[in-house]
Structure 1
């Protein structure tokens, strides 16, 4: 255990740099902040390489558990934790973790009946929320298509509320994903305004891959054409679409509920 009190400490600067994508990629590491998220990581058998905590958190049993698992522990002030996390009111702990994206070919599509696929997603809050939804419905993971926001950014990790540690995260270009998808079972269901099929009227076959598009533009036309099924949600007001993360949650729970009604997912009963 080491105590660090100065903002100018080289290690503080190094850890703070992980808030930037280029440094995360160079180091292969990312930041997670808050006792709940770090505890979720431990529960998923992922320990921080570094644990940063405030002096007054020493006696907390969860902090003690984190210290026992962490590679190194650093005691510092709340002000320095704020500098590390970029949050005005940081939690009592910040962890540094090794990035762990899952190669597409390593995914086991048979481990879950629901998978989420996001194309050109730009907002880290949406990405983190989609991860959290995936965890809630027991999805196998999130596959990011084309140029998406970084799933290991501070904002995405925070929005995931720990689901970054429970969901497999893969990244691929569209042709690579389609080749992998068509090499085995899987129904690709796209959300689109260019269809008359109501999302509750459709039948979803396992494993279902729910495909959502960019927040502003939706799915490209050729991506929609490659889907096994396109569905849309009724819009009764002036808005013509839902937020990407909200639409994903609505879709995921519809697929889950169909499985529950048919008895296909006994573990959710």
Structure 2
């Protein structure tokens, strides 16, 4: 069972880093010692969006995570595909079933061979339900070295509801906490001007409130649009809000 103090502790954490530390330790207690969480808010019918806009959290080593993300192996990962098409938990036993049918593509086989080389052999994936059509988030729970998929499935049979609840809670907390994208972080001034725009203020209003010139406010807005790789200020407000870079208490 999940105790109320454990839930309250997670709900009261103030940074993604603290939350991720607690969550990885929680999952390790169930036998899942390597986690990979990913979230996109900008997917389309044919793409997950720009990888620079992804929220990626993992305690895999860099030898695994760098090729998987930077070389875009995730695009052909069978369980990533499964997560895009399903909601809820999924056993990696579905991979054995597909392998027996021989229906993996050559690109999928490349990913499976990469996973085997790095000891990513048994586990569970959870695809989180989203009410936003362009958003999708999922987490891959890799079992400790030496564990079989049958042993993982037994753990899930016994503790799956608790594990699922903890991951759902972690996901919701991640979505509510502020974080800065490594390549797209806004400065304090850029966040402030976008927040005022989101509150309905004009450029002239913002100049008065912040004690700046009209040109300086325009400059901060231009740089914010550039940092977020968008064309309009309205898009910048929306994207910065999605990334929790504005509208939060520091």
Structure with more relative contact order (C-alpha pairs < 8 Å, separation 6 or more)? 2
TM range (shorter): under 0.3
Query: TM-score w.r.t. structure 1 length?
Result: 0.26
Q: Which has the higher helix share?
A: 2
Query: TM-score w.r.t. structure 2 length?
Result: 0.27
